[in-house]
Amino acid sequence: MEYIKNASKGFQWGVEKAADLGYRYVEPMVHTGWDLLSEVNFFHSFSTEEDPLLMKEICDQAGVKVSSISGHSPLMKPEAAVPRLTQAIVFAAACGAKFVNTDDMDKPEWMEDDFAYTMMKYTLTKANFVAQRHKVYICIEPHGTFTCTSKGILSIVNLVPSPWIKINWDTGNFYLANFEDPYEGLERVKDYVVHIHAKDISQQHSEKERGVVTGTPVGCACGEGEIDWERIFKILDPLDREIFLSVECGQVDEAERSLAFLTKILGEKLID
């Protein structure tokens, strides 16, 4: 749903536009409380104060399904992350989705690493109780202090032994962070990957921010940047499970070109 960010439109408009473009699934972003821009349909995020079945109804009417919920929460800040994650899990379950995406985010300067891991373990322990009940995966994404290395993201995934804590692989974030080869990193964590943010990074963006940031809100159209998609799918191909690709770009036309590119390159691997 990030593809409509620059269009300054609301959730329902974005869902209907996704359907028009040919997408069969969307990944809604949720927020707690009330957001003025969303209330006046200038932003696509959906409040968890609303009825989750309203989200499902809007998607059903447009002919698309919810693949996952973008419930990004600072795992090191449990007072924010626990209610946000648990509400996102309930929304996912109500809409028939199996995944909620989140990440560690940035560690405060005053927080020691051991303390950060204690906070993240608490957050994930609480959220895991809800995930187990609703049978929804909590997917950790590379986009923060610890998650942008394969060792780091696995250390968080394994904080709480659970079949419901997995990985949402963000192709663009891991590439930009540049702590290790992005394809070797994916190879190391692939057994935990159940969801992917299909994000490409333009050459200009790469030259400006690679090695400087650990993540970015959106990328360019898939197939028009620095990501080697054929190599990514070669790594994932042996996995015997369905994996959702959630395109993450910033413009409607980029979403259209991304769908055309991914449809072409994946071919018969796409599930109808």
CATH of the domain at 253: 3.20.20.150
Find, among 38, 37, 29, the residue nearest to 91 by Cα. Answer: 29
The total of structural domains in the chain comes to 1
pLDDT digits (tens, 9 = 90+) for 40-60: 999 999 999 999 999 999 999
Kind of pairing between the strands at 193-198 and 165-170: parallel
Q: Which pLDDT tens digit goes with each residue over 55-80?
A: 999 999 999 999 999 999 999 999 99
| 162 confidence band (pLDDT: 50, 70, 90) | very high
Percent share of the chain, pLDDT over 70:
100
DSSP state, residue 24: S
- State the average pLDDT for the chain: 97
Token pair, residue 128, equals 């895991």
* For the chain, counts of helices (H) and of strands (E): 11, 10
pLDDT tens sequence across 255-264: 999 999 999 9
pLDDT digits (tens, 9 = 90+) for 199-229: 999 999 999 999 999 999 999 999 999 999 9
Task: Place 272 in a pLDDT band, splitting at 50, 70 and 90.
Answer: low
The mean per-residue pLDDT over the stretch 4-31 comes to 97
Cα separation, 74 vs 106, in Å, equals 8
Q: Mutual orientation of helices 150-157 and 113-134 as an angle, nearest 10°?
A: 60
Range of the domain at 196: 2-269
| 271 has pLDDT over 90 | no
The reported pLDDT for the residue numbered 242 is 94
- Are the C-beta atoms of 257 and 11 separated by less than 8 Å? no
Long-range CB contacts (< 8 A, 24+ apart) of 94-97?
A: 94/52, 94/53, 94/55, 94/56, 95/52, 95/55, 95/56, 95/59, 95/65, 95/66, 95/69, 96/56, 96/65, 96/66, 97/65, 97/66, 97/67, 97/68, 97/69, 97/136
What is the pLDDT, as a whole number, of residue 25? 97
265 touches 230 (CB < 8 A):
yes
